[in-house]
Structure 1
Amino acid sequence: MYWAVILGLLAIIAIFGVKIVKRAVKKWIPKDLDKFFRSIDRLSSEKIFKVKFLHKDMYFVQDPDLIHKVLTSEVCMEKPRMIYKFFGLNDGLLCCGYKQWRRDRKNFSSSFNNVMVSCFVPIFCRIADRMICKIKMNDYSQKEVDMIHFTERCTISMILATSFNIFPEDIASPDEEIGRVAEAVKITSFMLSERFKKFVMFFDTVFKRTEQYRQQNEIRDSLYDLFHKILDEKTKNGNNNEEQQPSFFQNIFYNKVMTFKNEMTEDQIKDSIFTVIGAGFETTGTASAHCILFLAMHPEIQEKVHQEIMSVFPSDDIEITYDTLSELSYLENVMKESLRLGPTVHSIAREAMDNFEISPGKVIKRGSIFCINIYGLHHRKDLWGEDAELFNPDRFLPEYFDGKQQYFIPFSIGRRNCLGYRYAYTSFKVMMVKLLRNFKFTTNLKLNEIKFNRQIALKLMGKHLVMIEKRH
């Protein structure tokens, strides 16, 4: 009887304790990440301010000079696990701990350097031409189509070809399988964003017992099996003959993974593969759709870009190379302005590995988290002018942009920036060249009407609806 009373009291305390903790935690877990970040935007005049996040001190750094100091410091190279676990890629290069990152950055950097990206340009063109043919098969001049449908699938195809040596012709039903990969990545991204909204899902021990966790693993495993199935088919069909492979073949990402697989766990291998697919998908695929939509809203800018492209590539016979792409200076300004208004990676975070003096006399203790709001930085009127919400590529002309480089960080900066930024930027530019050379885009949407949703990645709230007219 005595023990029964004690156990009963403990049960009551436990129940009410959980409710109290749950109520307290709900105060700092935002149900809507976008609203949370908009509230941070309103504090942009503050250079740096602190909030308590569980047991951690979290500093939102707003001042460009302080942002630069954090991102380039050797003390702030760690990624905070309590934030990046929501990406679902704990052991990939994007989210892994500093020690693993040092190893993997060294092992995989040659897969995304200038030499490799230059070699990839013909492959980017080949895949982009396939997208152009798909669009030309239908008449979209009088009906609206979601542009991201084409850019996402083109991006996936580019990644599979350049990082895994899997080309559309290697796949029995390429449109179906590439569509499966694209949808799987989108579903996983959505599920990861939803996890952040639920209190109980925040804790790994609880989350790993949920149906959502099981579904995410099933999707990842099915994609992993799909890659190996296709690679096995290539080998059986003799499509993997080393004598037929280009000289850069051994440096492509998947072959590098296989080279260093004995140094990696199975989870590290899988997360590394899905990081390359997911990161490329979210950057190039989404950024290209954003850019086309912005140009559809601004026909005079679109026409100016088209004229520049035609001046450099007046016919299909002229080869597109890494060097000739650099001649498209106005297109580059357009792409930068698109990434300024719609940075697909809208926020990043770092963790101090030691006490860090962020400014004279202000020391941040070890283990504190720094949050960098890239979207907020890119939209600040005090930095970009009163027209900061407008689409104006001329703001990246040297006479205007000089001195503002620290305000523009779509791929982060410092040693732990995006490893594949050259790859992403070049594939993005090739898609723009191919699309704008062949089509004219219009839309009924207005810039002041569209809204972005900041979840795991920056997404348009709604569709990238455009009409596509063939150019003759």
Structure 2
Amino acid sequence: MWLGPMFLVVSSDADNATVILKTTLHKTLVHKFGKIIIGQGSIFAPVDIWRRRRKILVPSFAPRYVKQFIAVFEAQDKILVEKFKSHVGKGNFSCWNDVSNYTLDSVCETVFGMNVELQRQLDNPFFSAIEELMKTTAPRIFQPWFYSDAIYKLSPVFRRQANLKKIIYGFIEDLICKKKEQIRVGGNEEKTDNPAHNTKLNFKTFIELMIENSKDDAYTLAELQEEAVVLLVAANDTSAVGICNTILMLSQHTDIQERVYKEMKEVIGDSNNPLTLNDLLKLKYTKAVINESLRFYPPVPFIIRSCKEDLTLPSGITYPEGTDIVINIWGMHHNPQYWGEDVNVFNPDRFMTEQIPKAFMPFSYGVRNCIGQQYAMLSLTTTLVSLLRKYRFIPATNFKYDKNNPIRLSFDLMLKNVERYPLQIEDRDKI
């Protein structure tokens, strides 16, 4: 297909996609548009910059660190559960804002070690700026007349994005400076305006880990800002979209929801003890439900790579140097060749086998895949446990989805439900 002056080859073949994603690491022209948000952050960075930063970032996502964040997720989940309480038995409501504020709070705490309490604020400029910046960035991909930076910088949307970026980077710079000062004086204590919330942290934050891991090749403040924005935008949106999609599908498939709840009761019981990694890993069916949700509605529907040399695929086709390739994750996730004729049926049991089709790529594939996938899965699982212990989700009035009436989606760098995830909730204890 053509996007203005750009010629793109689209691949929905899993064998070809694995080869492309393992061997072709360069991002294409389209990805430069994301730099408005994250500069040279590792998602869209050129390969030479990406290699150095990836080397520093990977140790920060080691399982021994990520599992410590379960306590953060669970603490923030308690606030989310309380927020949902106001919607019990009151008809349709959109769960997007509540869930997105929860994920932002969780990410801010795990990245900076600070509870910014976005969930308790009715209107936060930081959250609003991220939402608007994502929405205004995506359309440029499909507007070739704005591919020229010189032309784009004359547009009102560019000037608006510059203001939004100032809000986001100002917020993050303030948190980084506070964290650096904590590290300088040898403390690791979360300070808030409420003395009751001032607690000694029992984990190392991502910022601390990045500073430690880069000590021989230290990150500059600008680099820390860019990678912090990557973590905030990527971790927040991926987790929030994943949680909302899963909740929405559970509301539409109450039999599956009850099976998840039954598994949680069998594994965790009625205990109010803190969740552990061991508990979460035992929730096999819950993980299958999350995977099926990610297959059905992958947050990132496509990935684009650029060939810097000729590439011969298993099919025998050769992409010449300079070819831009779209890896169609949505296409692979909905291809009956890999998933069977019931590909458009929400069926978590397809993930209960040992063999998961190679066409399953919600977090990309290869060395340039998403390094935060374990983080996202733990956030999703912890949140589902916390919510399903307390509530039952049921379909919103006049919003029944099935294979003949699919959910309407919009693209603003992530795929999101146009209606912002409407559903209803009931209190389990009163049913």
TM-score range, shorter chain: 0.7 to 0.9
SS at match of 2:90: strand
Partner of 2:371: 419
Work out the CA distance in 1 between the residues paired with 2:167 and 2:212. 19
Residue-by-residue CA offset, 1:229-264 (whole Å, 9 max, x unaligned): 456678999998626555642x62365258749755
Cα distance, 1:193 vs. partner?
1.8
CA-CA distance at 1:380 after TM superposition? 1.5
Which deviates more from structure 2 when the two are superposed, residues 208-217 or residues 176-185? Answer: 176-185
**Which moves more between the two structures, 334-343 or 443-452?**
443-452
Paired residue for 2:112? 164
C-alpha distance in structure 2 between counterparts of 1:225 and 1:212, whole Å: 20
Is residue 362 of structure 2 the alignment partner of residue 410 of structure 1? yes
CA RMSD of aligned residues (A): 2.7
1:174-213 CA-to-partner distances (Å, cap 9, x unmatched) read 6338843322211111101232343432211221233322
> Which of 203, 207, 213 in structure 2 is aligned with 1:253?
207
**Cα shift at 1:392:** 0.9
Q: Work out whether residues 305 and 330 of structure 1, in 8 Å CA contact, stay in contact via their aligned partners in 2.
A: yes
**Contact kept? 1:296, 1:441, Cα under 8 Å:** yes
- In structure 2, distance between residues paired with 1:378 and 1:195: 26
Q: Which amino acid aligns with 1:160?
A: C
Q: Distance in 1 between matches of 2:109 and 2:274?
A: 19
The answer on 1:86 being equivalent to 2:36 is no
| 1:396 counterpart letter in structure 2 | F
- Alpha-carbon distance in 2 for matches of 1:58, 1:96: 20
Distance 1:239 1:104 in 2: 23
Per the normalisation by structure 1, the TM-score is 0.80
Q: Please tell me whether the aligned partners of residues 337 and 392 of structure 1 are also in contact (alpha carbons under 8 angstroms).
A: yes
Q: Look up the SS of the partner of 2:42 in the other structure.
A: coil
Find the aligned partners of 1:441 and 1:214 in 2 and give their Cα distance.
42
Which position in structure 1 is the counterpart of 2:196? Answer: none
Q: Is 1:222 aligned with 2:167?
A: yes
Structure 1 residues 233 and 62, CA, compared in 2 at 3 Å: closer, same or farther? closer
* Secondary structure in structure 1 of the residue aligned to 2:327: strand
- Asked if the contact 1:345–1:457 (Cα under 8 Å) also holds between the matched residues in 2, the reply is yes
Residues of 1 paired with 2:178 and 2:351: CA distance?
47
Q: Tell me if structure 2 keeps the 8 A contact 1:166–1:231.
A: no
Q: Following the alignment from structure 1 to structure 2, what is the Cα–Cα distance between the partners of residues 361 and 235?
A: 53
- Larger mean CA deviation between 232-241 and 207-216 belongs to 232-241
Match of 2:257 in 1: 302
Larger deviation: 357-366 or 387-396?
357-366
Structure 1 letter corresponding to 2:382: V
Match of 1:276?
231
CA distance in 1, matches of 2:329, 2:211: 31
Measure the CA separation in 1 of the matches of 2:221 and 2:334. 41
1:218 corresponds to which letter in structure 2?
N
Instruction: Give the alignment partner of residue 336 of structure 2, picking from 381, 388, 404.
Output: 381
Gapped regions of structure 2 (runs ≥ 5) = 190-199
The 2-side partners of 1:240 and 1:207 are apart by: 45
Name which of 408, 423, 426 aligns with 1:451.
Answer: 408
Contact in 1 for aligned 2:72/2:109 (Cα 8 Å): yes
Deviation at 1:383, TM superposition (A): 2.2
Higher deviation after alignment, 83-92 or 341-350: 83-92
User: SS where residue 345 of structure 2 aligns?
Assistant: coil
**1:407 aligned counterpart, secondary structure:** coil
1:17 maps to which residue? Answer: none
Q: Does residue 1:110 correspond to 2:83, yes or no?
A: no
- Counterpart CA distance in 2 for 1:237 and 1:269 is 16
The percentage of counterpart residues that share the same residue type is 25
1:112-261 equivalence runs, <5 A: 112-136=61-85, 138-168=86-116, 175-176=120-121, 179-229=124-174, 242=187, 244=189, 246=201, 248-249=203-204, 252-253=206-207, 256=210, 260=214
Q: Is the 8 A contact 1:153 1:179 kept in 2?
A: no
Judged with a 3 Å threshold, the aligned counterparts in structure 2 of structure 1 residues 174 and 395 are, in CA distance, closer, same or farther, namely closer
Q: Which has the higher helix share?
A: 1
Cα shift readout 1:16-54 (whole Å, capped 9, x = no counterpart): xxxxxxxxxxx944xxxxxxxxxxxxxxxxxxxxxxx63
Do 1:113 and 1:422's aligned partners in 2 also have CA atoms closer than 8 Å? no
Q: Which moved more, 1:175-184 or 1:118-127?
A: 175-184
Match in the other structure for 1:333: 288
Are the counterparts in 2 of residues 412 and 418 from structure 1 also a CA contact under 8 Å? yes
- Partner in structure 2 of residue 23 of structure 1: none
Instruction: Report the TM-score, using the length of structure 2 for normalisation.
Output: 0.87
| Higher radius of gyration, 1 or 2 | 1
Q: Secondary structure at the match of 1:196?
A: helix
User: Which secondary structure state, in structure 2, belongs to the residue aligned with residue 143 of structure 1?
Assistant: coil
Residue 207 to residue 267, structure 1, CA distance change in 2 (3 Å): farther
Unaligned residue ranges in structure 1 (runs of 5+) = 1-26, 30-52
Distance 1:143 1:177, change over 3 A: closer
Shift of 1:334: 0.4
Give the aligned partner of residue 19 of structure 2. 69
Contact 1:288 1:428 in 2 (8 A): yes
Contact 1:201 1:207 in 2 (8 A): yes
Aligned partners of 1:299 and 1:442 also within 8 Å: yes
Amino acid at match of 2:30: I
Could you say what secondary structure the match of 2:165 adopts?
A: helix
Comparing 233-242 and 343-352, the one that deviates more:
233-242
Residues 394 and 424 in structure 2, CA contact (< 8 A), matched pair in contact too: yes
Instruction: Work out whether residues 237 and 414 of structure 2, in 8 Å CA contact, stay in contact via their aligned partners in 1.
Output: yes
